[in-house]
Amino acid sequence: MTDQATPVPSSQSMIRVRGAREHNLKNVDVDLPRDQLVVFTGVSGSGKSSLAFGTIYAEAQRRYLESVSPYARRLFNQMPVPAVASIEGLPPAVALQQQRGGSSGRSTVGSVTTLSNLLRMLYSRAGSYPPGMARLEAESFSPNTPMGACPRCHGLGSIYDVTEKTLVPDDTLSIRQRAVAAWPTAWQGQNLRDILITRGVDVDKPWKDLPQKTRDWILYTEETPTEPVYPGRTHEDVLAAIKRGDPADYNGTFTGARRYVLQTFAKSQSAKMRARAASFMVSSPCPLCHGQRLNPDALKVTFDGRNIAEFSALPLKHIAQALQVMQPHMTGLDAVSVAAQGIVASLIERIAVLLDLGLGYLQLSRSVQTLSPGEYQRLRLGTQIRSNLFGVVYVLDEPSSGLHPADTQALLRALDGLLAAGNSLLVVEHNPDVIRRAQWLVDVGPQAGERGGQVLYSGPPEGLKTVQASQTRHYLFDAPTKRETPPRVAETFLKLANITWNNLQDLDLSLPLGVLVSVTGVSGSGKSSLIQQALVSIVSRALGQPVALDEDTEEDTPFDPAEAGQSQGRVVSGLEKVRRLVVIDQKPIGRTPRSNLATYTGLFDLVRQA
């Protein structure tokens, strides 16, 4: 609990919720103090988020949008109108929920925090230009603009292509057995096979036994010959039919495997089809910009001896150190020097907020798609702290999620900063350290679903100790108990070597199989990079099976080419014990608003059959 006694708020400084019935909430009435840290606790599914986000924040958003013109209102992702009788004393609200970064691989830490905008201005105004080179505008230092992007890779930093190994994972299979895994399934794949039969290719011979010239033509040809197709016949039967003048069932057009993959990747309107095509591609650094994403002119401009791509690749803590060393020497009085001094001071101030949140290991150039939901939420929290808003209710969803205990105090200091600025905090949380820091607790329960939805307690934290129905009180006030469980002994290990991804450099890993493995470390140490990204990429590639595509991916979901990249590394041993790889992540389930648990799990299929 907090060391100081929690002041009792007056009735004029309360948010008064009456008759909340959102989801499983049972006609809840609750008063919440403003200008304090209010933490919502309770078991998962008890109704905490329904009260904090589905009711309070949704109503605050609805009231704000009522003041916006209908034309502008349609640009907002509006939440449903909450089922609540009334809410009084509700200030404007900002929600920071658990979510993945943007769908575009071009979105980076620098773009989310707007630090890249300042850095581009710094290079434009105060960068060192080669003799005779005209000064560039700030937009010329952005890989997301036509004037700044590398003309070869279009600002992605990588080029993507296929190899025989990715197109044909198992060369012991024949074409009839779908050795060319990149080809489409069903009729279109059968059509390509029948065309090869007409051309005299032995589709029943193992791929590795086919002549290299034949294999190269099947995979890489840009020709699109049209051939008569006689489904189900051998090559000899086809030749005899042609000689007799028998009409073909149809004329089919052949497409090489590489051509099919690249065309699908570039032109398909289906996110699933693009993702499938991407799984057969490998990335390599762009030979023109060497992975730095910018055009040659922008890369010639330096600041502190580095071009903007090299500077953006530094961890935030190193950028802050470099700027702090340079700042005392920037004493010019001309307009350019004065502008540079202001930009550097603003960069140092903004980065300091992110360092306090334990994000000093991130690079400005790092894609937000590689961030955990907790990291992304703390980035957004950092921008809110810097905004200096006053009188706002911030609604946060488990800000300590994914945060190592060693970094929790930095998060709490950031929350204290928002409070000190005159704001209110409503936090949904499970972490005991954050709960103990609360000035006001709202415990929802007693259980999940239909057995929850009630406010068991609302008041200063110490008062929860006497609430018998609360499950939270046991973890806050009772002595912890240990349950001894005999550990399972691993008999086999999956060994990987030379893993390189994000901040992992040439790492070797021995992973026990058949046991529960916990991967720990401070925030930013590389846990997610190792398990969710590198391990998945390397093992799926070694199995010769693309990672299973999410069946709930919407057809019009944006898919960025950067998602096709693969980590470096190899499997040394133990793969024979792995039959398949299943990835369970934190992406929300459901394809459309009509999706629910019954449709997602297939339960409705059984109901329909009945």
**In the chain, what are the domains?**
11-100+372-477 (3.40.50.300), 109-151+295-356 (1.20.1580.10), 163-280 (1.10.8.280), 492-577 (3.40.50.300)
Sign for the pseudo-dihedral over CA of 346, 347, 348, 349: positive
Q: Is the pLDDT of residue 563 over 80?
A: no
How far apart CA 558 and CA 341 sit, in angstroms, is 40
Cis upstream peptide for 446 (omega within 30°): yes
> What is the tens place of the pLDDT at every residue in 233-250?
888 888 888 888 888 899
Tokens of 344: 């550097």
Residues 520-539: b if buried by 16+ CB within 10 A, e if exposed? eeebbebbbbbebbbbbbbb
Greatest Cα pair distance, the chain, in angstroms, is: 99
Three-state secondary-structure class, residue 349: helix
Give mean pLDDT, residues 45-59: 95
Range list of β-strands (E), 541-585: 568-573
Plot region of 590 (φ>0 → left; ψ -120 to 50 → alpha; else → beta): left
Q: Is the pLDDT of residue 3 over 70?
A: no
Q: What is the pLDDT, as a whole number, of residue 69?
A: 86
The half-sphere exposure of 520 on its side-chain side, counting CA atoms within 13 A, is 6
Tell me how many degrees the CA angle 190-191-193 measures, rounded to the nearest 5.
65
Range in 56-70, 249-263, 281-295, 528-542 with the lowest mean pLDDT: 528-542
Residue carrying the six token digits 């700044």: 148
Task: Name which of 488, 539, 486 is nearest 513 in CA terms.
Answer: 488
Tokens of 112: 């989310």
The half-sphere exposure of 33 on its side-chain side, counting CA atoms within 13 A, is 20
Instruction: Give the contacts of 224 (CB within 8 A, at least 6 positions apart).
Output: 253, 254, 255, 259
Range list of β-strands (E), 48-152: 86-88, 93-96
Q: What is the pLDDT, as a whole number, of residue 373?
A: 75
Instruction: Give the contacts of 120 (CB within 8 A, at least 6 positions apart).
Output: 138, 139, 141, 142, 308
> What is the tens place of the pLDDT at every residue in 299-312?
999 998 999 999 99
Q: What is the mean pLDDT of the chain?
A: 87
Q: Is the pLDDT of residue 101 over 60?
A: no
Q: Where are the alpha helices (DSSP H) in 544-594?
A: none
Q: What is the pLDDT, as a whole number, of residue 567?
A: 61
Q: Is the pLDDT of residue 551 over 50?
A: no
pTM of the shown model: 0.72
Cα dihedral 399→404→407→409 (10° resolution): 70
How far apart CA 13 and CA 16 sit, in angstroms, is 9
> What is the tens place of the pLDDT at every residue in 530-542?
998 889 888 887 8
> What is the tens place of the pLDDT at every residue in 320-333?
999 999 888 888 77
Give mean pLDDT, residues 30-55: 96
Kindly state the percentage of the chain with pLDDT values over 90. 51
Three-state secondary-structure class, residue 472: helix
C-alpha 141, offset from chain centre? 25
Q: Is the pLDDT of residue 549 over 60?
A: no
Q: Cβ of 312: how many Cβ atoms within 10 Å?
A: 25
Cα dihedral 443→446→448→452 (10° resolution): -90
Q: Is the pLDDT of residue 26 over 50?
A: yes
Q: What is the pLDDT, as a whole number, of residue 100?
A: 61
Q: What is the pLDDT, as a whole number, of residue 561?
A: 46
Give mean pLDDT, residues 154-174: 89
> What is the tens place of the pLDDT at every residue in 367-384?
888 887 778 878 888 888
| β 454-459/37-41 pair status | unpaired
How far apart CA 309 and CA 474 sit, in angstroms, is 51
Could you tell me if 482 and 492 are in contact, meaning their C-beta atoms sit under 8 angstroms apart? Answer: no
Three-state secondary-structure class, residue 112: helix
Could you tell me if 458 and 442 are in contact, meaning their C-beta atoms sit under 8 angstroms apart? Answer: yes
Could you tell me if 317 and 124 are in contact, meaning their C-beta atoms sit under 8 angstroms apart? Answer: no
Q: What is the pLDDT, as a whole number, of residue 553?
A: 45
Confidence category of residue 545, pLDDT binned at 50, 70, 90: low
Residue carrying the six token digits 């334990």: 358
